[in-house]
Amino acid sequence: MATSTYVDLDEKGKSVNESRYRGMVGSLLYLTASRSDILLSVCLCARYQDNPKKSHLTGVKRITKYPKGTTNVGFWYPKGTSLNLTGFSDSDFAKCKLDRKSTSGTCHLLGSSLVSWN
């Protein structure tokens, strides 16, 4: 999703089929195990599984097109690198405009390779 995209409840939008939307989000959540670059966008869309609107479905469709154009992106663990474990974290306190909840994330690197994220 574009960095300028803001996902909200869209209460006045047209409702879409919940089961189709949930299936698409579920497939994308499965894909996040190997594609951490879509994790945040998928989790934003997963918040609206209860009552998805057309704008939410458009966002999910956009996310599904992204991996096709970025097949060269993924994990790479080169042989012979150092085994220093490094961790990073980031937080934005009450930054969500919808419900004022905080969003945070962490990542851990083993040498120069990503091994864990949240």
Of all helices (H) and strands (E), which one includes residue 104? strand 103-110
Residue length of the chain: 118
Pick the more confident residue, 13 or 97: 13
List pLDDT tens digits, range 59-74. 899 999 988 888 887 6
On whether the CB atoms of residues 115 and 108 are closer than 8 A, the answer is: yes
Per the DSSP assignment, residues forming a β-bridge with 87 are 108
Q: Is the pLDDT of residue 80 over 80?
A: no
* pLDDT tens, residue by residue, 1-43: 665 666 777 888 899 999 999 999 999 999 888 787 888 889 8
Q: Is 57 helix (H, G, I), strand (E, B) or coil?
A: helix
Sign of the C-alpha dihedral, residues 68, 69, 71, 74?
negative
Q: What is the pLDDT of the chain when averaged over all its residues?
A: 84
